[in-house]
Amino acid sequence: MSITEPLRHTVPNRVIPVLGVLALALVWLLDLGTIQPNRIVPGTGHGLLSALGWTGAGLVTGVLLATTVLSMVPVRRRYELLLGLIGLSLATMPLLLDVFAALHLPEGSPYARSSVGAGFWSLLFLLSLMLIETLGRLSARRWLQLMLLVFVGGSWLVFLRGEGLESLSLVREFNARPDKFQQALWTHLALALGAVAISAGLAFALALKMIRSPAWQRPLLGAVSFLQTIPSLAVFGLLIAPLSALSSALPFLQDLGIRGIGWAPALLALIAYSLLPMVRNTFVAITEVPESLADAARGMGMNEHQVFFQLKLPLALPVIIEGVRITTIQAIGLTAVAALIGAGGFGGFIFQGLGQAAMDLVLLGALPTIALALLADALLTMLAASLKPTPATA
Amino acid sequence: MIELKNVSRHFGNTIAVDGVNLTIETGEVCVLVGSSGCGKSTTLRMINRLLPYSAGEILVDGEDITTMNPEQLRLNMGYVIQGTGLFPHWTVARNIAMVPTLLNWPRERINARVDELMTLLDLDPSAHANKYPQQLSGGQAQRVGVARALAADPNILLMDEPFGALDAITRENLQLEMLRIQKQVRKTTVFVTHDIDEALKLATRIAVMDQGRIIQHDTPENILRHPASDFVENLIGKQDRGLKLMSLRPVRDLMANHTEPRQSEPGEHVLREEDSVRLALSVMLWQDLRQVAVFNAQEQETGVITRERIIQEGV
């Protein structure tokens, strides 16, 4: 942070007031939630006041006003206070849905359900942005960020598991198929992370090959770039024919579960897509270690093995991890599409929901996919930051 | 002792080093000097086999270096380069400990050695040992570079324009430091520079190189007095020679000794026995004196040096 300690308390923040006012406007203008008589029929929306009553609406408005004002007045430990306030608000947001369901759900109608409205999503999104801004201003430690994430995530899980939110459409969809959800989670993770792991190993070998024999650079980079340009659906489709031919020719492959559709073509396609960012980052990271350093290392008596493992790899690692991060996020997203060729995962819920025009089922697939991607992003960013060669180089 | 016998290196049609013969005696500082592209760096890098040579042979203590394992050869040769080449992801202490670690010294011995070297190079271990190279000034970083080269007490020190990227004041300080350290450790040193003043100051013998050949190999005084060619004469500066010779000569040579050292109060800028005649003359000219008192290291006045004597015999 360039702002020095005494100044940090006196300079009014400009980001949080904008977000706060925007949140206030959206939460009053948009529907906080809707009540549906059953799964398919469109529901009736409820604004903030109608959804929560005067007490609830007043509380939400009060919190948003408080953050806005607090961010502008020069109080000591202002950002610490803001962090507490915003963190607590985020953690207790499901309580709003709880109250909403209790107030509006008709008694004795088992198919009626409540669902989340645009106002609630806006509030969640804007509060998260405020949290990120506050963390940035505090230049908060990584463990604090992680603890906050665990606290908010844990609180949401507790609320969603609780009785008050049983009527929430998302929870309904989940409760209708808890086993399938768990299976989808594992399939999704196994496919995405498996593809990342395999392509990381492959990319490392390819990058080393390119460094040892420069003649391979152009054709290899060309090939992996070409793989990246094919539309993902086309790759999934293209793999069906050769894989089914292969598996009918070789029966033992069938026993392994390798067929034209299913996990095998999905994994292959995901690996193909992961190769470009992995190979490029690994190659660039290793070749960009200054030759003068390698020269000094050799001159001091290091052999090539030592130069690579003690000098080049440690200096290249943050950039390589960056490649892994990009690839992981991309693979988690693409795995959702792979459901089209029967690979399973959260994509299954999305396409099923689209087919049944059940938006809540789509959300049940989409939200965990987004959450996984964000989680992977956060964890790998932290890993890369902790591997930075020195504290002095920002 | 390092011997280069008729060593050449060409790539394609260009000749980088052309039939170099050079003997560097044990404990002497041999400075290779010349303009850029004259082959001085290439010559240095052939001695530790970072570059191969096309013809001739190089012997270290009588042994042909091509028969040795290159890593083993280099572990016994300290190597200092321009811009330090320190590992940015290692602390100062770990950088200095590099070669001892490669040689599998026990931990305590390495730690003791790192402390010893940092003290020798005027770096406070408690303040700097755990810093990273980027947190040091240019001069400090190059001191660490020199400490790293000396770490495993090698017999030979190879220095490739080590002070080239430093500002004038820092460079001068490090040159003095190097003279002081060299008096203590007496390494056989090959030092590459394009700065003739640096060469005159540090060298036991200077090898002047041009277009891959050695034009003249002699002591600084002989190079100044009898330059072998116009090229050498231009390099040392035709008009400037008198003063350069004076800076090679210590005051001790020309002073009139007192019969007995006297106790007297040395002023703020004292002249010492080991200072150069050039400095003595400069002091006299600036303060408009006919003579100056000379002191020894124990702060005793041991004699005087006169302006007349310098003018008559200074060169």
Residues B149 and B267 in one domain: no
Residue A249: pLDDT above 60? yes
Q: Is residue A1 part of a domain?
A: no
CB contact under 8 A, A298 and B50: yes
| Residue A173, in any domain of the structure | no
Q: B119 and B17, same structural domain? A: yes
B98 touches chain A (CB under 8 A): yes
Of A166, A193, A216, at which residue does a domain stop?
Answer: A166
For B132, other C-beta atoms within 10 Å of its C-beta total 20
A195 & A287 share domain: yes
Q: How many domains does chain B have?
A: 2
The answer to whether residue A2 scores a pLDDT higher than 70 is: no
Domain termination residue (choose one: A136, A166, A196)? A166
Specify whether A249 is located in the same domain as A281.
Answer: yes
The pLDDT assigned to B32 comes to 95
Q: Are residues A224 and A370 in the same domain?
A: yes
Residue A199 lies in a domain: yes
CB nearest to B79's CB, from A296, A392, A393: A296
Residue A37 has pLDDT above 80, yes or no: yes
One domain for residues B297 and B209: no
Task: Give the residues across from A112 on adjacent strands.
Answer: none
Question: What six digits make up the tokens of A311?
Answer: 């000098």
The yes-or-no verdict on residue B90 having pLDDT over 90 is: yes
Residue B243 is assigned to a structural domain of this protein: no
Encoded amino acid at A327, one letter: T
Give the pLDDT confidence score for residue A394 in this predicted structure.
Answer: 34
The sign of the CA dihedral A80, A82, A84, A90 is negative
Q: Do A128 and A204 share a domain, yes or no?
A: no
Task: Give a yes or no: residue A394 inside a domain.
Answer: no
Task: Report how far residue B221's alpha carbon sits from residue B86's, in angstroms, rounded to the nearest whole number.
Answer: 36
Residues A204, A208, A211, A217, CA torsion sign: negative
Nearest-angstrom CA–CA distance, A46 and A31:
5
Counted domains in chain A: 2
Tell me what the pLDDT averaged over chain A comes to. 87
Mean pLDDT lowest among A131-135, A253-257, A323-327, A368-372: A253-257
Note down the domain range covering A370. 178-387
What number is the average pLDDT over the span B81-90?
A: 89
| Among A157, A172, A160, A142, CA closest to A35 | A172
**What range defines the domain where residue B182 resides?**
2-238
Q: Is residue A310 part of a domain?
A: yes
Looking at residue A201, what is its pLDDT? 94
Q: In CATH, what number is assigned to the domain containing residue B120?
A: 3.40.50.300
Question: pTM for the complete prediction?
Answer: 0.78
pLDDT of A361 above 50: yes
For residues B9-15, give the mean pLDDT.
85
> Is A249 part of a structural domain of the chain?
yes
Question: What digits encode the pLDDT tens for the residues A265-299?
Answer: 889 889 988 888 899 999 999 999 998 899 999 99
Nearest CA in chain A to B85: A293
Chain segment B200-241, per-residue pLDDT in tens: 999 999 999 999 999 999 999 999 989 999 999 888 887 888
Q: What is the pLDDT of residue B266?
A: 66
For residue A302, the chain B residues in CB contact (below 8 A) are 71, 102
- State the smallest CA–CA distance between residue B175 and chain A in angstroms: 21
CB contact under 8 A, B75 and A298: no
Pick the last residue of a domain from B192, B220, B238: B238
Tell me the percentage of chain B whose pLDDT exceeds 70. 98
If asked whether residues A19 and A123 sit together in one domain, one would say: yes
The partner residue sitting opposite B74, judged by closest CB among A292, A299, A391, is A299
Helix and strand totals (H; E) in chain B: 14, 14
Instruction: Kindly state whether B283 is in contact with chain A, defined as any CB-CB distance less than 8 angstroms.
Output: no
List the single range of B28-32, B162-166, B269-273 with lowest mean pLDDT: B269-273
Considering only alpha carbons, which residue of chain B is nearest residue A303? B71
User: What is the pLDDT at residue B4?
Assistant: 93
pLDDT > 70: what percent of chain A? 96
3-state secondary structure chain A: CCCCHHHHHHCCCCHHHHHHHHHHHHHHHCCCEEEECCCCCCCEEECHHHHHHHHHHHHHHHHHHHHHHHHHCCCCCHHHHHHHHHHHHHHHCHHHHHHHHHHHCCCCCCCCEEEECHHHHHHHHHHHHHHHHHHHHCCCCHHHHHHHHHHHHHHHHHHHHCHHHCCEHHHHHHHHCHHHHHHHHHHHHHHHHHHHHHHHHHHHHHHHHHHHCHHHHHHHHHHHHHHHHCCHHHHHHHHHHHHHHHHHHCHHHHHCCCCCCCHHHHHHHHHHHHHHHHHHHHHHHHHCCCHHHHHHHHHHCCCHHHHHHHHHHHHHHHHHHHHHHHHHHHHHHHHHHHHHHCCCCCHHHHHHHHHCCCHHHHHHHHHHHHHHHHHHHHHHHHHHHHCCCCCCCC
Q: Looking at residue A174, what is its pLDDT?
A: 87
- The CATH number of residue A314's host domain is 1.10.3720.10
Regarding whether B303 and B276 lie in a shared domain, the answer is yes
Task: Using CA coordinates, name the residue in chain B closest to A306.
Answer: B102
Q: Considering chain B, what is the average pLDDT of its residues?
A: 89
Give pLDDT, residue A137: 84
User: Which is it for the CA torsion B150, B152, B158, B161, positive or negative?
Assistant: negative
Residues B101 and B199 in one domain: yes
Q: What is the pLDDT of residue A168?
A: 85
- How many Cβ contacts (< 8 angstroms) between chains A and B? 63
Nearest to A78 by CA among A138, A123, A23: A138
Q: Please indicate, yes or no, whether residues A161 and A217 belong to a single structural domain of this protein.
A: no
Out of A295, A314, A390, the one facing B134 most closely (by C-beta) is A390
Q: Single out the residue in B209, B238, B267 at which a domain terminates.
A: B238
Q: Do B44 and B155 share a domain, yes or no?
A: yes
Q: Where does a domain end: A105, A131, A166?
A: A166
* Cβ contacts of B118 within 8 Å, gap of 6 or more: B92, B96, B124, B125, B128, B129, B147
* Bridge partner residues of B159 (DSSP): B80, B191
Q: What is the pLDDT of residue B58?
A: 94
Instruction: Report the distance separating Cα B154 and Cα B74, nearest Å.
Output: 9
Residues A272 and A371 in one domain: yes
Distance CA A213, CA B269 (A): 63
Confidence of residue A390 (pLDDT cuts 50, 70, 90): low
Highest mean pLDDT among A85-94, A381-390, B4-13, B292-301: A85-94
A106 and A196 co-located in one domain: no
Average pLDDT of span B20-30: 93
Whether residue B230 sits in one domain with residue B259 = no
The reply to whether A187 and A59 lie within a common domain is no
Q: Which residue has the higher pLDDT, A30 or B262?
A: A30
